[in-house]
Structure 1
Amino acid sequence: MTVKSIKPNVSFSLFTASKQVQFIQTLKRIRFSGQLILTSSDQQKWLFFLCQGHLMYATGGTHPVRRWLRNVAAHSPQLTLDRSTIERDLTGFDPATCKTCWQYHLLIVWAKQQKITHEQIAKLIQSVITEVLFDIAQTQQTTYQIKQDNTLSTQLPVIDVEDAIARANQRWQAWHHDLVAEYSPNLAPVIRQPQALQARTSEAVYQLLSKLLDGKHTLRDVAVQMKRDVLQVTRSLLPYIRWGLVELISIPDLPNPIKQEDSKRPPATAQSTQALIACVDDSPLVCHTMEKLLSASGYQSLVIDDGLRAIALLIARKPDLIFLDLVMPNTNGYEICAKLRKLQAFQTTPIVILTGKDGIVDRVRAKLVGASDFLNKPIDAGTVLNVISKHLKQSVVSH
């Protein structure tokens, strides 16, 4: 099931131009299934779970537990969120074998128990992903890694990547076009000068602020309690903040109900192999997509968009595997493959032909000139990574 929504009208901004956003869009284009792991310079991690290029869930960052509880309270107020209930519903949950995270697991449990509707789940997941994308956008620099897993299933509503980015971008622009851009919604307001604050407000407002601004709840938490948008709440507090009556402070996350998850690290990917994979294709889109996919999977990449320069560059770098476009201007994949096979250095190198066609004649001809495999376009992330794994293992065995 895919969540449909009307895309807001958004203009170009630093948010949509960010490398993180562009890479998530690339994963949609290649229908990737698995995990995307983003890591900031201060070692904060965010995890996105995708199935066939759609977003299943996202977690990580500064307050993953706080974010989760806040959004459950906002979108499914009928649920009881005391710790004993959560721990009971997590009975039998094993983070070592779970393919997603405990938050997603709980949603599945509650959906089966009919404690929460699919509409509520869709809104909750959408809101969580929007917050995560917003927080990542405030991080100056991140590195990304992917872990392919084609067994991930969509037991709950999934979110379209473009819809999620549009919603997050809309919030990003609203926040940064306002006077609150210098603050993070993950900071917690606390009253520093109660007497001065009381003198500047009515008794009713002061009592409300005294209750909400206790330094234990973030701006986002306060907004949910007040049933208002976080931007409106922050804007309303801005005068008190600038007068020094209220201060915004950093606070820790709430306790994690799954303590083992704190020490859990993403499993090692192909990064340790550092094999060099080449892609020869005259399409800039294909080259860009392959380069991003290979880099995030831990491989070195060599992309060549000019068929006439391909052989010289391949001889100079000697890649471990070559993806070769079938149809290119001035030359074609058959000719390049045949020439490479005549060279001693490339007689056993896996060469995978890329093509938009799927004819038996092309396959036979590719085999005759020495191609190792045949891959149809548009490229699929899982298929590409499986082909690489298969042929590199065969290459190791043959040596």
Structure 2
Amino acid sequence: MTVKVLNPNVSFSLFTASKQVQFIQTLKRIRFSGHLILTSPDNQKWLFFLCQGHLMYATGGTHPVRRWLRNVAAHSPHLKADRLAIQRDLAGFNQADCKTSWQYYLLSLWAKQQKITDEQVTHLIQSVITEVLFDIAHAKQTTYQIKQDNTLSTELPVIDVEEAIAEANQLWQAWHHDLVADYSPNLAPVIRQPKALEARTSEAVYHLLSKLLDGKHTLRDVAVQMKRDVLQVTRSLLPYIRWGLVELICIPDLPSPVKQESSENPPATTQSTQPLIACVDDSPLVCNTMEKLLNASGYRSLVIDDGLRAIALLIARKPDLIFLDLVMPNTNGYEICAKLRKLQAFQNTPIVILTGKDGIVDRVRAKLVGASDFLNKPIDAGIVLNVISKHLKQTVVNH
């Protein structure tokens, strides 16, 4: 038997904990649409936009504006992406009405205007997402939260979640196992001892380094300017860093052309005040999927995989809503639902029957024993969250 009550903010290490990969796979399997927000211990936030389990875009972190401009320069150098040009293109942008971000809005606009090809869009989005995933891995520990939004639509090519993680993981492993593992590619190199550096390099190399290492551009920025891999660039600077001739410093992001996206700062959830949602199902896959979905959506979760013990556990915990499997060993959802409805404490509790069947007889019988709703498997994230929202609102109104 499995009985779990989960904190809505769960910590994991991105590329070392298997549960993170399982969580991403869960979002893909349940075709989740909405926002995935990851937060580091120092309160850095990264925001992913997903549609039907696929990645649309990612933003947030230390340098979202720098990241955007750098990748536009790398993958669409023909575009004039200076601040004035961006502000001009954003004249019709309204953050309150936007479901994604100003970066995604610009990509969609440029694609419609045929200023950028689908291939360039794909490479740009893939590169941005890879950088974000790499930075999350560098943060080591994060907590996650999801906010469902079925209105998100894909105007641009989408990225497969698992492929994106695999690519970022490969880059992270290369960086982590190299001599540069202690440094972040978001740090900016600056020359601290110009005369000593000049004495140790050729005239051409010193001239190039003087031009690039001005303390205003990150290692990633420098790599794009040099048209080289950031790992190669950092490795080549390592001797100068160790000799104290060059220092890596933190620099701020470039000014945003719009106000900070409010969706990057979701309201904190308080575990004790969030509704408790129960799922009674003998399938480990269903329990695991519902557990992750409810947890990341900010709800408290009670999953029970033993139908015979379900009633006692439900009475003890008194959940605000119950998902109940129709067919289980030694019992069934009809029997459990009928018994619960005879108890005063559960006469008004929403009970939603889960089943792999879709027969009219089952639906009628479910209504006769007092079920509030009837959902078909496999589980769809949007439908599940909408059902929860609908019935919890009705419960509030009835009280």
What is the TM-score of this pair, normalised by structure 1? 0.92
Partner of 2:233: 233
SS in 2 for 1:159: coil
- Aligned pairs for 1:17-32 (under 5 A) are 17=17, 20-32=20-32
Q: Which amino acid in 1 is paired with 2:134? A: F
**1:1-399 maps to which residues of 2 (within 5 A)?**
15=15, 17=17, 20-258=20-258, 260-261=259-260, 266=265, 274-399=274-399
Alpha-carbon deviation of 1:375? 0.8
Alignment CA distance shift 1:151-1:371 (3 Å):
same
Find the aligned partners of 1:200 and 1:276 in 2 and give their Cα distance.
Answer: 65
The number of aligned residues is 386
Match of 1:3 in 2: none
Q: Which moved more, 1:248-257 or 1:18-27?
A: 18-27
Task: State the shift of 1:15 in Å.
Answer: 0.7
Q: Which letter does structure 2 place at the counterpart of 1:261?
A: Q
Q: Is the 8 A contact 2:278 2:322 kept in 1?
A: yes
Partner of 1:9: none
The alpha carbon displacement at 1:200 in A equals 1.7
**SS of the residue 1:204 aligns to:** helix
Q: Is the 8 A contact 1:70 1:221 kept in 2?
A: yes
Partner of 2:5: none
Partner SS for 2:15:
helix
Over aligned residues, Cα RMSD in angstroms?
1.9
| Letter in structure 1 aligned against 2:56 | M
- Structure 1 CA distance, aligned partners of 2:14 and 2:148? 28
State how far apart, in whole Å, the 1-side matches of 2:222 and 2:275 are: 49
- Paired residues of 2:24 and 2:162 also in contact (CA < 8 A): no
- The farther-off stretch of 366-375 and 50-59 is 366-375
Q: Percent identity?
A: 86
For the 8 Å contact 2:14–2:142, the answer to whether it is kept is no
Aligned to 1:387, the other structure's residue is in SS state: helix
**Structure-2 change in CA distance of 1:18 and 1:194 (3 Å):** farther
Q: Structure 1's 18 and 369: CA in aligned 2 closer, same or farther, altered over 3 A?
A: same
Is the contact made by 1:281 and 1:304 (CA closer than 8 Å) also made in structure 2? yes
Deviation for aligned residue 1:376: 1.1
Question: Greater shift after overlay, 242-251 or 20-29?
Answer: 20-29
Deviations for 1:216-259, whole angstroms, at most 9, x for unmatched residues?
1111111111111111111111111111111111110011111x
2:295 alignment partner, SS class: helix
CA distance in 2, matches of 1:359, 1:220: 57
Q: Which runs of 4+ in 1 moved over 6 A?
A: 269-272
Q: Secondary structure at the match of 1:15?
A: coil
Query: Which amino acid in structure 1 is aligned with residue 311 of structure 2?
Result: I
Q: State whether residues 89 and 106 of structure 1, in contact with CA within 8 Å, keep that contact through their aligned partners in structure 2.
A: yes
CA distance in 2 between counterparts of 1:342 and 1:128 reads 55
Q: What is the aligned partner in structure 2 of residue 10 from structure 1?
A: none
1:315 Cα deviation after fit: 0.4
Deviations 1:266-303 (A, max 9, x none): 56598696111101112222222212221222211111
Instruction: Supply the distance in 1 between the matched residues of 2:32 and 2:91 (Cα, whole angstroms).
Output: 31
261-270 or 243-252: bigger deviation: 261-270
Whole-Å separation in 2 of the counterparts to 1:348 and 1:223: 62
Does the 8 Å CA contact 2:281/2:305 hold for their aligned counterparts? Answer: yes
Would you say the 8 A contact 2:54–2:160 is kept in 1?
yes
Amino acid at match of 2:38: L
RCO higher in structure (CA 8 A, sep ≥6): 2
- Provide the C-alpha distance between the structure 2 equivalents of 1:76 and 1:397, rounded to a whole number of angstroms: 53
| Letter paired with 1:237 | L
Once the two structures are superposed, what CA deviation does each residue of 1:123-161 show, in whole Å capped at 9, x if it has no partner? Answer: 000000011011111113322222211111101111111
| 8 A contact 2:95–2:261 mirrored in 1 | no
Q: 1:337 to 1:274 in 2, by over 3 A?
A: same
SS at match of 1:167: helix
Q: Is the 8 A contact 2:14 2:20 kept in 1?
A: no
CA contact (8 A) 2:14 2:136 kept: no
Structure 1 stretch displaced more, 281-290 or 348-357 = 281-290
2 CA distance for matches of 1:397 and 1:384? Answer: 20
- What letter is aligned with 2:96? A
Give the letter aligned to residue 247 of structure 1: E
Report if the CA contact (8 A) 1:38-1:47 is conserved.
Answer: yes
Give me the whole-angstrom Cα distance separating, in 2, the residues matched to 1:160 and 1:360.
37
**Aligned residue number for residue 6 of structure 1:** none
* Contact 1:51–1:154 (CA under 8 A) maintained in structure 2: yes
Q: Is the 8 A contact 1:20 1:142 kept in 2?
A: no
User: Given the superposition, is the C-alpha separation of residues 114 and 46 from structure 1 closer, same or farther in structure 2, using an over 3 Å criterion?
Assistant: same
Aligned-pair distance for 1:325? Answer: 1.2
CA contact (8 A) 1:270 1:297 kept: no
State whether residues 189 and 214 of structure 2, in contact with CA within 8 Å, keep that contact through their aligned partners in structure 1. yes
CA contact (8 A) 2:46 2:264 kept: no
- Aligned partners of 2:73 and 2:346: how far apart in 1? 60
* 8 Å CA contact 2:47, 2:264 repeated in 1: no
Query: What is the CA deviation profile of residues 190-227 of structure 1, one whole-angstrom value per residue up to 9, with x for unaligned ones?
Result: 11112222222221111111111111111111111111
Preserved CA contact (<8 Å) 1:271 1:299: no
